[in-house]
Amino acid sequence: MEKSMNSTTLARTKSEQLVIETQAAATPTSKSPTMQNEDAPITSENMGTLSRKSSQRMVVGASPGRSSGGNKNNTHIRKARSAQVKMDVEELSNGAALSRASSASLGLSFSFTGFTVPPDEITDSKPFSDDDIPEDIEAGTCKPKFQTEPTLPIYLKFSDVTYKVITKGMTTSEERDILNGITGAVSPGEVLALMGPSGSGKTTLLNLLGGRLIQSTVRGSVTYNDQPYSKFLKSKIGFVTQDDVLFPHLTVKETLTYTARLRLSKALSRQQNEKRAIDVIYELGLERCQDTMIGGSFVRGVSGGERKRVCIGNEIIINPSLLFLDEPTSGLDSTTALRTVQTLQNIAEAGKTVITTIHQPSSRLFHKFDKLILLGKGSSLYFGRASEAMAYFSSVGCSPLIAMNPAEFLLDLANGNINDISVPSELEDKVQVGNSETETRHEKPPPAVVHEYLVEAYESRVAENEKKKLMTPLPLDDEIKLKVFSSKREWGASWWQQYCILFCRGIKERRHDYFSWLRITQVLSTAIILGLLWWQSDSKSTRGRQDQAGLLFFIAVFWGFFPVFTAIFTFPQERAMLSKERAADMYRLSAYFLARTTSDLPLDLILPVLFLLVVYFMAGLRLSAGPFFLSMLTVFLCIIAAQGLGLAIGATLMDLKRATTLASVTVMTFMLAGGYFVKKVPVFISWIRYMSFNYHTYKLLLKVQYQDITPPVNGIKTDDGLWEVGALVAMIFGYRVLAYLSLRGMQLHRGA
């Protein structure tokens, strides 16, 4: 009997099934406390309460886990209906959605003034929550539990903040205002959004508040717990840049683990640091891609949303008190952007202070912000609760004439565009008395006039009150205030730990480049061609030694040229990463520099060994252990010295085009002065050859191969070669000291 009923049910259409079975299964039950009145009208006031902190959220749907009747049919009804009845908050607020929802296919009766739900269907109803947002497929199972451990609360205040830059031309210099008297405040547990059109000063204000601009160019007051900025705050601030600066060949897990080992307290063990990284991975929903490489322009890796969450994880792993984010939703789809903002909301609710710039959020994103600063041309147009922004602009005479996204409405005002927006009476008067050119533009005031009006309205209505509020001292203990004022930096790891971690990270990141098939093919093919050209050359005759001298000179030139142009790219390519990590005080510059230069050595010395193994025996050079290993040691010294020159040029210029040009001229000069092409160099320019690593390498190779052989080849004395070794060692250290001083003098960020 039951089977026949089920087959009959499947033969019906879904709408008929739900209508008939709902009427048959409905039994009198008590009303859910979440539904105050089944016939209560849905008004704009009701819908306005659907914010993330509202406890009066409306829902239509039944839990599939319960059955009021206790039979299988009712369970089937609820499962089918719960999948269809769940509706999005925005669709409930939309009259068209309500009209569509009045279809009998849902088994419900909707109208523009209210809706009726069968009593048994609302017994398990619950308020809307952010869990109702469609799950981001790439995010996995995200269970927010963000850093519930206690952290230092930081109240950020800023008043009359002004920032100017001087642009220098060929003959004159011009002073340009970027920020004009910006005032605001944000407390722990709040998310402050900086919104405005492109070029309005959002990123500049964010960098200023995050301590990443030189204070000498800043005017106004910026305080953290009523104290000025100090180096101690670097360990309490997380800063997510707009660009996702990550190493492409590291996996998600490796990236977060290295960050944890560098930034977390040295009191924690390695296992505890790795556990923290795993916790962050699961909190951000990255468990599905934790073993996937980050990827880059030419390397396939994680998606854009996952990459952004990795950047956020790099900062929240230290449990920061302040978190700054520069346009974290740029380039993301709406669902991923919503998940990202939900992540920020969870972080704030754990007692953190969150400040983010945002360009043009959706209406759902906009309502998740606690506070809002609207910027236009560097001036503040609004500061206050995000939920009160529309009411404020309505009070100054600017209201949308059609239904529109609040963020879109605010950006139009910030741009001075008041199409589809009511014109305040003061601006109408200016239009009427304006010239005819202005009147022809549909009697709309120009953007400059709108901007000036909004700035004046903010100054007269809001600014003074906010400044008075900022004057009120915070109810904090003096101990907490003084702790923020501490000028002592807090390093997460010791110098030796930093060096070891950066050394391992460098080898893992660059092993893909050094062992690429292109590079291996380049070296081995060159070695084979040289071996064939000098196949079993004769070293006993004078002419044969002259031929071998040409081979030795080419070896000196090749392993002088190759490392220079490899090392030139080191610091310019990593400048963004170095700036980001040094600004966060992740490590000392000396530890980074030494780790960066030494981590290249094991990888740089593998290919020369393969090269010499091929060339040395094919060319028939001295077949004994001593000369072979001495030749290899000579080539190693040449490579390390040439590497130092490349590092120095790259670190000094920090521009690949200029660095490549300078390196080309330098290497060519060293090659010409290397002692093979010109035997007698004029005295006034002979000093160049003593700076050439090609010259000293060539002499050493000749002395190793033809020691105790007369007459000397190319007039070079076959002594012990200590002078040449000393010169190469001096170049190895001298060039690297120059590179380090260049990095130290480069202004990466304040305090770097």
Name the burial class of residue 174, with classes exposed (0-12), middle (13-18) and buried (19+) by CB atoms within 10 angstroms of its CB. exposed
Q: What is the DSSP letter of 686?
A: T
| Residue 5 pLDDT exceeds 60 | no
Q: pTM here?
A: 0.75
Question: CA Rg, the chain, in Å?
Answer: 35
pLDDT at position 472 is 83
Q: Is the peptide bond before 119 cis (omega within 30 degrees of 0)?
A: no
* 165-197 residue pLDDT tens: 888 777 777 888 899 999 999 999 999 999 999
Residue type, 701: L
293 is written with which tokens?
């490489």
pLDDT at res. 473: 82
Cα separation, 181 vs 664, whole angstroms = 50
pLDDT in tens, 333-365: 888 888 889 989 989 998 899 999 998 888 999
Which of the two residues, 750 and 681, has the higher pLDDT score? 681
Q: Sorting pLDDT into bands at 50, 70 and 90, what band is 529? A: very high
The phi and psi torsions of 451 (rounded to 5 degrees) equal: -60, -45
Q: Is the dihedral of CA 621, 625, 630, 636 positive or negative?
A: positive
Specify whether the CB–CB gap between 607 and 523 falls below 8 A.
Answer: yes
Alpha-carbon dihedral sign for residues 273, 253, 280, 263? positive
* Burial classification of residue 102, based on how many CB atoms lie within 10 Å of its CB (0-12 exposed, 13-18 middle, 19 or more buried): middle
Give the SS3 label for residue 414: helix
Closest by alpha carbon to 185, among 377, 473, 446? 473
Report whether 315 contacts 323 (CB < 8 A): yes
Residue 291 CB-density burial (10 A; 0-12 exposed, 13-18 middle, 19+ buried): exposed
What are the residues facing 372 on neighbouring strands? 193, 384
CA-based torsion, 218, 222, 228, 230: positive or negative: negative
Of 152, 217, 146, which is closest to residue 178 (Cα–Cα)? 217
Structure confidence by residue, pLDDT tens digits, 656-703: 999 999 999 999 998 888 767 877 778 888 888 888 999 899 989 988
Q: How many CA atoms lie within 13 A of 390 on its CB side?
A: 16
Quick one: tokens of 561?
């040229």
Q: Are 603 and 514 in contact (CB under 8 A)?
A: yes
Residue 482 reports pLDDT greater than 50: yes
Helix (H) or strand (E) holding 380: strand 379-385
Distance CA 465, CA 472 (A): 12
Q: Tokens 């203990």 appear where?
A: 477
Tokens for 306, please give them: 């996952």
First to last CA, the chain: 80
**Pairwise CA distance, residues 238 & 250, whole Å:** 21
Beta bridge partners of 168: 173
> What pLDDT does 638 receive?
94
Contacts of 217 (CB under 8 A, 6+ apart): 163, 164, 165
Categorise residue 714: left if φ over 0, alpha if ψ from -120 to 50, beta otherwise: left
